[in-house]
């Protein structure tokens, strides 16, 4: 058994059987399962506290506000933010990245400016910038990958010139597991006065994150990929940038005064939180980071590296199997994409499901990367704290069965 095997019993869903087999859940890069501690926190909030937040003079409203803002304080602490005010709650990573692109990009970018991305980005860190390019006339420039699936920074000095205003990079690829070179890009950005936006959807759940030394000016991530509920995520920003950034959504909760033709915004972070916020989700998110902090993110990372190392070694024993991602587990996370012989990823996912093994198949919202890898789709196994080497064994056994189904063994 691997290091964190004891946590499995905290996850009620992992007790399910699928198609007569023990569930082997290997899709945590898409969303993680939830521990009872998170489910109970949300349940307790709705049973005892539920009310709308802010401006309520009655006891429940005060308690609900404390619960919501308490979730923010926990998340801020988890990422080393200097103040909870640096943490804006959004619907998730995608909304956070759109808020950055629209709220900062629209007012700071114009024709002739460049936004630098990498070809391993998730669509959520590509399409918002395409939309902003359409509005402002700025140019998108892509960094490619080297032979080990890592962002190629060899030519950085030539690419990062004075016209670059934004460098937006994934902290960890949801396809290859490769970690983005945030520190290197951050140093290059400092030289030319550009800002660094980090898509932390995979990074924050799987790696100790301290915004003080990450090198990012903005960081986006989602609760549901780190044991928390769906419907809530974070936009963290440097305080001065959040101050100068425009709100993307207007409505209740985000103003300090509204007149007929103009309004003044509420202070950060509330000026970015229009409408009734995801209150129960913030409570669940707080419980999720409490749970992770109790284990310790270094332990989480060590566990994932051990299981990924085991998985890469075991997958190498399956004939005709190609893994797309770095071999060095110290430079990657636990998302392992692969192709098996001429079996399409969807067929692999269907066959594996018959053995209770849940993997994702498709383009993983990273079509530019799929084109670079020259594959239409990959199958992807991804690991988290509750996975064990036995889960890897079940995956490998089911892959051998897949070869049999397709007449290859």
Partner 1 sequence: MTPLDELYRQTILDHYRNPRRRGALNGPHVHAEGENPSCGDEFFLDLATEDGVVTDVAIGGQGCSISQASGSMMADVIVGKTLDEVRDLARKFKVMMSIEEGDNPVDPERPGSVLGELEALQGVRKFPVRIKCADLAWTTLEDALGQL
CB 368, min distance to partner 1, A: 13
DSSP 151: B
**Which of 332/403 has CB closer to partner 1?**
403
Single residue of 53, 377, 395, 396 touching partner 1 by CB under 8 A: 377
CB atoms within 10 A of CB 129: 24
CB 322, min distance to partner 1, A: 17
CB atoms within 10 A of CB 102: 19
In angstroms, rounded to a whole number, what is the distance separating the alpha carbons of residues 230 and 361? 21
Helix ranges (H only) for 193-277 are 203-206, 211-214, 239-244
Single residue of 36, 354, 372, 397 touching partner 1 by CB under 8 A: 354
CB 335, min distance to partner 1, A: 18
**What separation in angstroms does the CA of 13 have from each of 8, 18, 50, 86, 386?**
10, 11, 26, 34, 11
By CB under 8 A, residue 344 contacts partner 1: yes
**Which of 309/347 has CB closer to partner 1?**
347
By CB under 8 A, residue 290 contacts partner 1: no
By CB under 8 A, residue 406 contacts partner 1: yes
Q: Which of 206, 201, 175 is nearest to 339 (CA)?
A: 175
By CB under 8 A, residue 351 contacts partner 1: yes
138 annotated active-site: no
Ramachandran angles phi, psi of 172, nearest 5°: -160, 125
Q: Which stretch binds partner 1 (CB under 8 A): 150-158, 275-283, 345-353, 383-391?
A: 345-353
Ramachandran angles phi, psi of 138, nearest 5°: -70, 165
Single residue of 219, 245, 343, 399 touching partner 1 by CB under 8 A: 343
**Which of 6/367 has CB closer to partner 1?**
367
Q: Are strands 218-222 and 195-199 parallel, antiparallel or unpaired?
A: parallel
Single residue of 82, 346, 371, 409 touching partner 1 by CB under 8 A: 346
**Which of 23/188 has CB closer to partner 1?**
23
Write out the E strands in 122-274. 139-143, 164-170, 195-199, 218-222, 233-237, 255-258, 263-265
Is residue 115 within 8 A of residue 139, CB to CB? The reply is yes
**Which of 265/406 has CB closer to partner 1?**
406
String of contacts with partner 1 for each residue 303-342, x by CB under 8 A: ---------------------------------------x
**Which of 48/367 has CB closer to partner 1?**
367
Single residue of 130, 376, 390, 409 touching partner 1 by CB under 8 A: 376
By CB under 8 A, residue 24 contacts partner 1: no
- How many chain residues touch partner 1 (CB under 8 A)? 17
Ramachandran angles phi, psi of 215, nearest 5°: 95, 10
Catalytic-role residue among 185, 266, 365, 399: 365
By CB under 8 A, residue 409 contacts partner 1: no
Single residue of 43, 69, 347, 393 touching partner 1 by CB under 8 A: 347
By CB under 8 A, residue 106 contacts partner 1: no
CB 355, min distance to partner 1, A: 9
HEC profile of 305-368: HHHHHHHHHHHCCCCCEEEECCCCHHHECCEEEEEECCECHHHHHHHHHHCCEECEEECCCCHH
Give the chain's end-to-end CA distance (angstroms, integer): 30
Is residue 299 within 8 A of residue 381, CB to CB? The reply is no
CB 350, min distance to partner 1, A: 6
Q: Which residues bind to partner 1, rule: CB under 8 A?
A: 342-347, 350-351, 354, 361-363, 376-377, 405-407
Could you give the residue numbers annotated as active site? 365
């Amino acid at each position: 058994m691997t290091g964190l095997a004891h946590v499995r019993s905290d996850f009620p869903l992992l007790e399910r059987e699928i198609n007569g087999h023990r569930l082997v859940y290997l899709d945590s890069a898409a969303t993680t399962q939830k521990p009872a501690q998170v489910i109970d926190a949300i349940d307790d909030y709705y049973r005892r506290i539920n009310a709308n937040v802010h401006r309520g003079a009655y006891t429940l409203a005060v308690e609900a506000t404390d619960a919501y803002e308490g979730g923010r304080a926990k998340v801020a602490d988890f990422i080393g933010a200097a103040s909870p005010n640096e943490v804006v709650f959004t619907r998730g990573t995608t909304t956070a990245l759109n808020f950055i692109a629209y709220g900062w990009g629209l007012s700071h970018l114009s024709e002739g400016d460049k936004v630098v991305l990498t070809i391993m980005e998730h669509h959520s860190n590509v399409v918002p910038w395409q939309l902003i390019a359409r509005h402002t006339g700025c140019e998108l420039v892509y960094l490619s990958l080297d032979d080990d699936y890592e962002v190629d920074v060899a030519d950085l000095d030539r690419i990062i010139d004075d016209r670059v205003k934004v460098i937006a990079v994934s902290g960890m690829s949801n396809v290859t597991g490769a970690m983005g070179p945030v520190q290197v890009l951050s140093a290059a950005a400092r030289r030319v006065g550009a800002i660094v936006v980090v898509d932390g959807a995979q990074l924050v759940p799987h790696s100790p994150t301290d915004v003080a030394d990450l090198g990012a000016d903005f960081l986006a991530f989602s609760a549901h990929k780190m044991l928390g509920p769906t419907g809530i995520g974070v936009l963290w920003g440097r305080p001065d940038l959040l101050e100068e950034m425009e709100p993307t959504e207007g409505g209740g909760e985000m103003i300090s005064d509204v007149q007929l033709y103009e309004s003044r915004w509420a202070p950060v972070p509330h000026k970015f939180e229009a409408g009734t916020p995801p209150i129960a989700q913030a409570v669940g998110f707080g419980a999720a980071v409490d749970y992770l902090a109790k284990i310790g993110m270094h332990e989480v990372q060590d566990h994932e590296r051990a299981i990924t190392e085991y998985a890469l070694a075991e997958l190498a024993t399956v004939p005709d199997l190609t893994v797309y991602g770095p071999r060095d587990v110290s430079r990657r996370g636990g998302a392992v994409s692969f192709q098996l012989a001429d079996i399409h990823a969807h067929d692999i996912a269907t066959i594996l499901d018959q053995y209770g093994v849940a993997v994702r198949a498709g383009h993983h919202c990273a079509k530019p990367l799929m084109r670079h890898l020259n594959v239409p789709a990959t199958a992807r196994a991804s690991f988290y704290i509750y996975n064990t080497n036995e889960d890897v064994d079940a995956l490998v056994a089911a892959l051998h069965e897949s070869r049999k189904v397709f007449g290859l063994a």
